[in-house]
């Protein structure tokens, strides 16, 4: 069992300023960057204090404070590195591939396949947890890698079932691929995972309603930081909450290819609702019965709101920036699916990339670490109700409960 990294006393819930003060004490650094990058922190701290703290067990309180302080301390170190090494700010982020599909739509698998290109760069958990000092100054020490692993496991040890739904973490640990949302934008608290873990409605409304431009500016700075001294020619990125900030990411990366993954909603939403119920173990105890159904139904409603926001943003951004990919295509013909993506963005898929995909798939059968079992009926939504609730999405993309377009030839 992993040991907690640093426990902070938590009898009273700190506000945003209190969390920043704790990060300052830890690092001796005080520059958090542009004040606009603290909007998510204020929303998260308000939800934590106003909605959740009283019902949280002491271990969960200590963990969330430690998590928040570490994220803020990491930001402080990144800004200090940037001041010390102006070469970081000179890095150019060009033509990234960004998977923007929702959770449980095959986005993680597709991201993995894209990352296997020898010319691709993709962030890993360890460097998001311990990014300082920059790689240009030397490879990470074993102690740094071990520290990242402990931080990762100190969160997940409260929810062991997460390893069935995210099996790649079992073998790869902190070397597993990271998400832009839960592993980079969590440092500016513009991260859906924080709502999945702690479920404050104040914070959920922030995610849906806020302008995330400042957060995407931090994301760009972070990519520059780890690109300096890294290897590769283009980024392969993924975030399961990008539908909440599509306009901001399109503006930040005007030459990006935005890849929207889709899946039969009976599978995607059932899996999503089940995982949301599992994640309640972080803030308290796993739920069952009527409470489990309520958690799952809210997760499904949040997904509907995310789809609506994403579709409106897509209309304003323009269809030419997007490529739609079916989960079912990825499963049926993964190499052909990646070839389609590369053809769309003017890249040639190498034989080395094809061979790497074939080898990875051989070593990672889908049910290697167990089967993720779930059913939409558990959450009170059947075929007709789901397709009615997601009518605009169904009509636009052809995916619904029990609905999917034919496989691409």
Give the strand pairing for 97-99 and 120-121.
unpaired
pTM for this structure?
0.92
pLDDT in tens, the chain (409 residues): 233 344 454 578 999 999 999 999 999 999 999 999 999 999 999 999 999 999 999 989 999 999 999 999 999 999 999 999 999 999 999 999 999 999 999 999 999 999 999 999 999 999 999 999 999 999 999 999 999 988 888 776 666 555 555 555 556 778 899 999 999 999 999 999 999 999 999 999 999 999 999 999 999 999 999 999 888 889 999 999 999 999 999 999 999 999 999 999 999 998 888 888 888 878 777 777 888 888 888 999 999 999 999 999 999 999 999 999 999 999 999 999 999 999 999 999 999 999 999 999 999 886 554 444 556 666 767 889 899 999 999 999 999 999 999 999 7
Least Cα distance to 23 among 72, 84, 87, 78 occurs for: 72
Give the strand pairing for 234-238 and 322-326.
unpaired
Joined together, the tokens standing for residue 378 give: 């558990």
Backbone angles phi, psi at 96, to 5 degrees: -70, 150
Backbone angles phi, psi at 261, to 5 degrees: -90, 145
Helix 289-317 crosses helix 201-209 at what angle (to 10 degrees)? 10
Q: What is the side-by-side order of every strand in the sheet holding 97-99?
A: 120-121, 234-238, 97-99, 257-262, 322-326
Least Cα distance to 164 among 331, 327, 379, 373 occurs for: 373
């Amino acid at each position: 069992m992993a040991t907690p990294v640093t426990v902070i006393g938590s009898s009273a819930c700190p506000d945003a300023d209190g969390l920043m003060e704790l990060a300052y004490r830890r690092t001796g650094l005080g520059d958090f960057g542009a004040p606009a990058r603290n909007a998510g922190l204020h929303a998260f701290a308000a939800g934590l204090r106003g909605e959740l703290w009283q019902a949280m067990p002491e271990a969960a309180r200590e963990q969330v404070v430690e998590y928040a302080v570490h994220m803020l301390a990491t930001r402080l170190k990144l800004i200090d590195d940037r001041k010390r090494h102006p070469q970081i700010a000179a890095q150019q982020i060009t033509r990234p591939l960004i998977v923007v599909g929702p959770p449980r739509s095959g986005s993680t698998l597709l991201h993995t396949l894209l990352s296997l290109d020898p010319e691709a760069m993709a962030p890993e958990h360890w460097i998001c947890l311990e990014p300082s000092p920059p790689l240009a100054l030397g490879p990470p020490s074993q102690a740094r890698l071990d520290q990242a692993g402990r931080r990762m496991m100190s969160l997940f040890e409260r929810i062991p079932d997460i390893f069935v739904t995210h099996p790649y973490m079992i073998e790869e640990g902190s070397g597993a691929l990271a998400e832009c949302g839960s592993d980079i934008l969590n440092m500016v608290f513009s991260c859906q995972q924080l709502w999945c873990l702690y479920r404050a409605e104040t914070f959920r409304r922030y995610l849906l309603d806020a302008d995330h431009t400042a957060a995407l500016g931090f994301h760009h700075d972070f990519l520059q930081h780890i690109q300096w001294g890294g290897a590769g020619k283009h980024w392969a990125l993924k975030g399961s909450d990008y539908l909440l900030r599509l306009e901001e990411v399109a503006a930040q990366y005007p030459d990006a290819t935005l890849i929207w993954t889709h899946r039969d909603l009976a599978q995607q939403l059932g899996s999503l609702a089940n995982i949301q119920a599992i994640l309640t173990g972080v803030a308290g105890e796993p739920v069952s019965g009527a409470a489990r159904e309520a958690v799952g139904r809210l997760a499904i409603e949040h997904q509907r709101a995310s789809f609506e926001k994403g579709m409106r943003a897509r209309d304003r951004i323009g269809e030419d920036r997007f490529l739609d990919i079916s989960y079912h295509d990825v499963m049926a013909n993964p190499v052909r699916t990646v070839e389609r993506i590369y053809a769309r963005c003017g890249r040639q898929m190498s034989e080395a990339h094809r061979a790497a995909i074939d080898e990875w798939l051989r070593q990672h059968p889908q049910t290697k670490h167990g089967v993720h079992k779930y059913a939409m009926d558990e959450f009170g939504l059947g075929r007709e109700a789901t397709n009615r609730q997601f009518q605009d999405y169904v009509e636009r993309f052809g995916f619904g409960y029990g609905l999917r377009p034919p496989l691409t030839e």
